[in-house]
Every structure is written in structure tokens, then in C-alpha cells.
Structure 1
Amino acid sequence: MSQPRQPGMPYPRLPLPQAHEDLAAFQQWLGEAIPMVGALGIQSMSQCTSQEGGSLTWQLALNPNLNDKGTGFGGALTAQTTLQGWCWVTLWLRAQGRAQDVVVAEASQRFLAPVTSDYRIICTPSDPQGPEQLAEKLNARGKGSIALTQQLYCGDTLCLEANGRYAVLPVA
């Protein structure tokens, strides 16, 4: 790992992929670029591009995210869903050959059931046309935003649903 992060100093970008994204390399870079990632319990990432807009799925361990009641800590789950949306947009941009910054503009969560075991979070566009609309905005104005939905499941139980809007900033 490189030197510890310093406030105000951007972390170097991961080079754009030549073909398909290496998600293990992306996850390693993510842990270096955002130090708290190592504490979130992300076991693996996978992408599915067969559905409209594609999905990003994370498998996560509950133990690093326990609260005082022995269930998932809401703050950790919120951080995970927000970060996963950021990753979805960043990976989508990388697949388009774009190296642009992404920021979260809005985020909300609805807690539906306690998280009691290892779990998975699935991130998809809120609107199936969202990626196409984002591409049009980026081509026309160099910036844009997209709404994403994250759903957290323990087995078949939907425990949390989050929604966020992520902004793609113009190239500086």
C-alpha cells in the first residue's frame, strides 16, 4: 500500500481498463483511495451488464458492521450503500472510457428489517433509461447526474432500500 492519505490531496486515478474491468484491482484501489473501505467488510464485487443499465452487487460480512444489538449498524449500512452508488457510476464511466469525478448529491435510506447475517447489496439505476440519459448529458454538457437504487438483502429478506443521486463533474 502507498503512503497514508493526506487531507486535500487527491488519490491517483486507476488507469482506465483496456478491455473488461478487473473488479479485484478496482476494489484494492478503492481501499487505498478511501481508507475506511477496508473496515466495511466488502468480500466481493460483481457486475451484471445483461439488464437495463446493469447492476453492481457486493457481498458483505456482518461482523465488521455490528451495532450494540448484534445486528447491522445503520451508519455502516448507509456508508456502504452511498459508496456502492459512487462505485456504480465510477465503473460505468470507466467502461465508457471517461475519467471524471463523481460525487454524491443526495442519499436516503429506508430500514425495513434488521440485518442479522452476512448480506448482499445490489445497485441498479432507478430508471432503466438513466444510463442513456446520463450519456446524453455528458456528451452535450460534459456533466450530468443519475439516480440509483441500492437494495440490501439478508437471504431473501429485503432489509434496507436506499436511493441516491450521483453527479458526474465536468473534466477540470
Structure 2
Amino acid sequence: MAGREPGTAYPSLALPEPGQQDDLLLFQQWLETAIPMAGRFGMQRLYWQDATLLCDVYLAPNLNDKGTGFGGSLMAQSTLLGWCWTTLWLRARGFRRDVVIAEATQRFLAPVTADYRLSCRAAEPEEPTRFAAQLDAHGKGRIKLVQQIHVDDRLCFEAIGDYAARPVGRRT
């Protein structure tokens, strides 16, 4: 949908069949069209490892003037991966919801000096169960997620974000 106007939502991707997982390659292709900036981050394939969503990322498109990872890119990518985690989790359970970041904090722990791995998981093991209960009771809810960036085994960046899911098209 090249040239869509601000305020015009991009068409949703069809939900997976009940009991089926999303095709992550198809989801990522949709994502990079629906959120054009996503295609410019150098994010490689999305993949799950247990309940953690991972993505390997090239450093080159995210360089700052010092030759390390630009903080703004790292923050945007962590927010995006949290949005993906939440959206994919909802889709796997048959929920079509609008997902937004409600609150986030970030810590920069070490310079990002090479291609890196970005990960996202629930902040606590009980978060998904609590989130599901909110959705069942109210049709909306919030979940706290942790995103991290590692270069090899070194933790360089950590973000904690609250993601809200609400009925599609609702502004509050």
C-alpha cells in the first residue's frame, strides 16, 4: 500500500488456522510493509526458542557516529520486537487486537560493536497467564516484556516494556 495516508491502518494479516503457528517469514514480510521502518533495521529472520522471540540483526544499518549501535535504533527495535511478541502471542490464540506500547524503560549496558541478537520474553513466567485472564474478562489487557540485545554472550542493552492489547479500532 505505497503512499497510504497517515491515519490509514494497514490491512491485517489473516489469523492462522486454529492450532497452527504463524508462518514467521510471511509475518515478517507483512510487518516490513505495514511498518516500513521495520524493513530498514537490518533485522534477519524472526524465530522462537521456547517462549522467547529472537531476531538476529545486522549492525551496519544501525551505526552511530562512533561506529557502534545507535541508541535510537536499539530502542525502536526492542519496542518493535515486543510488539511482535505480543501480536504473535495473541494471533496464536485467535485474538485479533491492536497492540501498542504503553510504557518502556531502557538501559544501555555496553556498546553494540558487531551484529547482534535481539530477544523478547515475558518479564515473569506468570505474565502470559495473567494477560490471558485480562483478555478473557475484559477483551483487553497489558503484559510486561523484557527485550535484550546480546553481542555474542555480552548483554549490551535491556528494555522493559508494558504492551497493551485492545479491541481493533478502539482509541482508548
- Per the normalisation by structure 1, the TM-score is 0.94
Q: State the match for 1:15 in structure 2.
A: 14
Residue 110 (structure 1) shift: 0.2
- What per-residue deviation string (whole Å, max 9, x for no partner) do you get for residues 119-149 of structure 1? 0011000011000000000000111000000
The letter for the 2-side match of 1:139 is D
| Cα distance between partner residues in 2 of 1:103 and 1:111 | 23
Q: State the match for 1:100 in structure 2.
A: 97
The letter for the 2-side match of 1:126 is A
Structure 1: state its 5+ residue gaps.
none
Q: Is contact 1:5-1:33 (8 Å) kept? A: no
Aligned residues: 167
| Cα distance between partner residues in 1 of 2:137 and 2:148 | 31
Q: Is contact 1:47-1:57 (8 Å) kept? A: yes
| Cα distance between partner residues in 2 of 1:4 and 1:107 | 30
| Cα distance between partner residues in 2 of 1:170 and 1:128 | 25
| Cα distance between partner residues in 2 of 1:103 and 1:9 | 16
1:131 aligns with 2:134: no
Q: Percent identity?
A: 55
Aligned-CA RMSD value: 0.9
Structure 1's consecutive aligned runs of 4 or more residues displaced over 4 angstroms after TM superposition are: none
1:169 to 160, 166, 169: 166
Residue 44 (structure 1) shift: 1.2
Residue 97 of structure 2 aligns to a residue in which SS?
coil
Matches within 5 A, 1:21-100: 21-49=22-50, 54-100=51-97
Structure 2: state its 5+ residue gaps.
none
| Cα distance between partner residues in 2 of 1:117 and 1:167 | 32
- Per the normalisation by structure 2, the TM-score is 0.94
Residue 123 of structure 1 aligns to a residue in which SS?
strand
